[in-house]
Amino acid sequence: MCGIVGYIGHRDASSIVLEGLKKLEYRGYDSAGLALYDGQKLNVTKTKGKVATLENKLLTTGNTNSSIGIGHTRWATHGEPNDKNSHPHYSNSGELVIIHNGIIENYDSIRKELIKRGYKFKSDTDTEVLINLIEEIQNKTQLKLGEAVQLALKEIVGAYAIAVFDIKKPNELVVAKLGSPLAVGIGKNEYFIGSDASPFLEFTNRAIYLEDGQVAAIRLNKPIKIWEIDNNKPTPVVVQELKMSLEATEKGGYDHFMLKEIYEQPSAIRDTYRGRLLTDEKIIKMAGIEDNIEKFINADRIIIVACGTSWHAGLVAEYILEDLTRTPVEVEYASEFRYRNPIITSQDVIIAISQSGETADTLAAIKIAKENSAFVFGVCNVVGSTIARETHAGAYTHAGPEIGVASTKAFTTQITVLTLIALKLGLAKKTINNKTFEELITELNQIPEKLEETLNCNKIAMDIAKVYKNSQNCLFLGRGYNFPVALEGALKLKEISYIHAEGYPAAEMKHGPIALIDENMPIIVVAINKGHYEKTVSNIQEIKARKGKVIAVVTKGDVTVKELANHVIEIPETLETLSPLLTTIPLQLFSYHTAVLLNKNVDQPRNLAKSVTVE
């Protein structure tokens, strides 16, 4: 889970690589570096810290003149984040240089072999082992760089997206991919490389997404050559026209990407159901479901696999799918599912949910499901991502780029897609009637407007955050559809403010967490006037009896909870099934403001990365 960038062409490689790294910092930001070749000398500048630190260092070294360059922003796996472990890494001769996103699992045995042959290592990384292995192969075989890289990768166990160049042949970049993403942007007499397309979108909208197991030689003024690592088979070069805009990847006047993305939710949800939810015709159109409707109808059960926020969206979907389709649903952490010898049959439908479409554990769970002949359906945001390609069919969330590490609009758009699926299946299976279907689609169509109204609670959320920002702990409670919302609220607060938080079903409180409650404990309760409202009111009474501070998310016009709670945030009236789409918003805003008031790095919280492409 690092970001890699590369450039070869007629422009100044240093600024393209540096600006590209800034766009990819969401993938990791504990150290950064870049390598440039000025025609005489390889200049490698790297540092612990963020790309801004690298930029400063570069200003002092003045090593910027080059038409070929590669850069890396790191999230450490092997070796602590420090200068020496930062990428790029170069070979013992100082002629080959590499950037790498991924993990080489058998690096230690290769390293020991290379040491026996006289190689010396400056870092603790697996990547430095790989570049020296490539050099060793080149020295032994005199093969071209691309072929030497290919042979080295055949010896590697693990995952990678790499870019390599040789200062003896500075007109060529070699890239390869297995398990980590890699895009090549094609300009006029110039090529770009990125973990995604954002580093080169301002220069070109033409890109190639390398497939797993492929290596490519990118040479100036020559067509790209791609071939299979395993069998040398040349692969056709498929160029895609990208439709995403650069503007969409920038902050657009907001202080942070997270806040921008919270505010984008009404439009993101509209984009999610645009062309799918046809309220006039009273139908839902989703090709991925229609083409496979029998599989869904005849499924013995649906198993949802995901991680983090996507897993919480899966939990909300469990309530919705079981209610509307009467198909049993299980929601699994992908990381547990992949290792616990799960029982999967060809009658199971697996739904894999992932914003990035690159999460390693979710990908591994998909692989196991496919090996057991299950039908696998993906719900992803990033178009063309690995999960989107590895699943049998799927539906994109169309949320647009999510840059803030804390997921916000990904969550609500995932719930929207899964609700559309549940409604479509419910009608097909006749487990809901037309009246229920129509009531739900009419309300779903109104959610973006109600969401806009909900966003008006921003100021109240900020005022509440001011009161509780110095708390050590925080509880989040909800029932039914809003229990996963409580889990998601706690995750948001933990990851960006570093305040310890737990989410619980409200009724579970008395089985343990109630012991934590005292006058210093804020407890955020989703207490809308649906489902088991009275029961939730009783839970609030229990908290008040122990002097806990209640922050309640209530339906507009609520009287009972208002009298009990210390603070209330109102949301518009909606159906219980769709309520998570609204109740989530105040929780996101509360976490956001708490983190801002505590001066935390909201968009890039410590120790985290946007997409977790290692297990």
Candidate ranges 78-86, 151-159, 403-411, 453-461; the one touching ligand M6R (CB under 6 A): 403-411
Catalytic-role residue among 2, 307, 457, 474: 2
Task: Label the pairing between strands 473-478 and 375-380.
Answer: unpaired
Q: Name the residue with tokens 């487990």.
A: 431
| Sign of the alpha-carbon torsion through 609, 356, 387, 306 | positive
416 binds ligand M6R (CB under 6 A): no
Nearer to ligand M6R, 14 or 407 (CB): 407
611 binds ligand M6R (CB under 6 A): yes
Q: Among this protein's residues, is 2 annotated catalytic?
A: yes
Amino acid identity of residue 319, one-letter, is Y
CA gap 562, 554 in Å, rounded: 8
Rounded to the nearest whole angstrom, what is the least distance from the CB of residue 470 to ligand M6R in the complex? 23
Nearer to ligand M6R, 406 or 550 (CB): 406
Give the contact letters, 472-511, x = binds to ligand M6R (CB under 6 A), - = no: -------------------x---x----------------
Task: Please identify the residue of the shown chain whose CB is closest to the bound ligand M6R.
Answer: 308
Q: Identify residues 308-337 at the interface with ligand M6R (CB under 6 A).
A: 308-310
Candidate ranges 72-80, 248-256, 405-413, 542-550; the one touching ligand M6R (CB under 6 A): 405-413
Rounded to the nearest whole angstrom, what is the least distance from the CB of residue 608 to ligand M6R in the complex? 6
Q: Are 553 and 524 in contact (CB under 8 A)?
A: yes
Q: Identify residues 358-387 at the interface with ligand M6R (CB under 6 A).
A: 359, 362
Per-residue CA distances from 87 to 81, 99, 287 (Å): 10, 6, 43
407 binds ligand M6R (CB under 6 A): yes
CA gap 45, 386 in Å, rounded: 31
Rounded to the nearest whole angstrom, what is the least distance from the CB of residue 419 to ligand M6R in the complex? 18
To the nearest 10°, report the CA torsion of 266, 609, 477, 264: -10
Rounded to the nearest whole angstrom, what is the least distance from the CB of residue 169 to ligand M6R in the complex? 37
Nearer to ligand M6R, 200 or 592 (CB): 592
612 binds ligand M6R (CB under 6 A): yes
Rounded to the nearest whole angstrom, what is the least distance from the CB of residue 601 to ligand M6R in the complex? 13
Nearer to ligand M6R, 359 or 555 (CB): 359
Catalytic-role residue among 46, 50, 549, 610: 610
Q: Are 476 and 587 in contact (CB under 8 A)?
A: yes
Rounded to the nearest whole angstrom, what is the least distance from the CB of residue 503 to ligand M6R in the complex? 13
CA gap 378, 382 in Å, rounded: 11
Nearer to ligand M6R, 125 or 413 (CB): 413
457 binds ligand M6R (CB under 6 A): no
Angle (CA) 77 602 203, round 5°? 75
Amino acid identity of residue 28, one-letter, is G
Q: Edge-to-edge, what's the strand order for the sheet holding 191-194?
A: 42-48, 31-37, 68-74, 3-8, 191-194, 183-186, 206-209, 240-241
413 binds ligand M6R (CB under 6 A): no
Nearer to ligand M6R, 42 or 602 (CB): 602
86 binds ligand M6R (CB under 6 A): no
CA gap 3, 25 in Å, rounded: 7
Nearer to ligand M6R, 132 or 195 (CB): 195
- From 307, 365, 388, 425, residue interacting with ligand M6R (rule: CB under 6 A): 307
Candidate ranges 61-69, 163-171, 401-409, 565-573; the one touching ligand M6R (CB under 6 A): 401-409
Nearer to ligand M6R, 175 or 405 (CB): 405
Closest CA to 410 of 266, 223, 265: 265
Rounded to the nearest whole angstrom, what is the least distance from the CB of residue 307 to ligand M6R in the complex? 4
Note the helical H segments in 238-354.
257-263, 265-273, 287-290, 293-297, 308-325, 334-337
Q: Identify residues 513-572 at the interface with ligand M6R (CB under 6 A).
A: none
Q: Are 380 and 394 in contact (CB under 8 A)?
A: yes
Closest CA to 288 of 112, 410, 425: 425
Nearer to ligand M6R, 426 or 605 (CB): 605
Nearer to ligand M6R, 131 or 612 (CB): 612
Q: CB atoms < 10 A from the CB of 267, how many?
A: 16
CA gap 514, 218 in Å, rounded: 61
CA gap 263, 585 in Å, rounded: 9
Rounded to the nearest whole angstrom, what is the least distance from the CB of residue 379 to ligand M6R in the complex? 9
Rounded to the nearest whole angstrom, what is the least distance from the CB of residue 174 to ligand M6R in the complex? 28
Rounded to the nearest whole angstrom, what is the least distance from the CB of residue 273 to ligand M6R in the complex? 20
CA gap 269, 200 in Å, rounded: 27
Candidate ranges 316-324, 368-376, 477-485, 607-615; the one touching ligand M6R (CB under 6 A): 607-615
Q: Cα 443 vs. chain centroid, distance in angstroms?
A: 29
Per-residue CA distances from 189 to 11, 145, 224, 491 (Å): 10, 21, 12, 46
Q: Identify residues 340-359 at the interface with ligand M6R (CB under 6 A).
A: 354-356, 359
Beta bridge partners of 194: 5, 183
Closest CA to 130 of 108, 139, 74: 108
Q: Among this protein's residues, is 307 annotated catalytic?
A: no
Candidate ranges 31-39, 94-102, 186-194, 402-410; the one touching ligand M6R (CB under 6 A): 402-410
Active site residues: 2, 610
Chain positions contacting ligand M6R, by CB under 6 A: 307-310, 354-356, 359, 362, 405-407, 491, 495, 608, 611-612
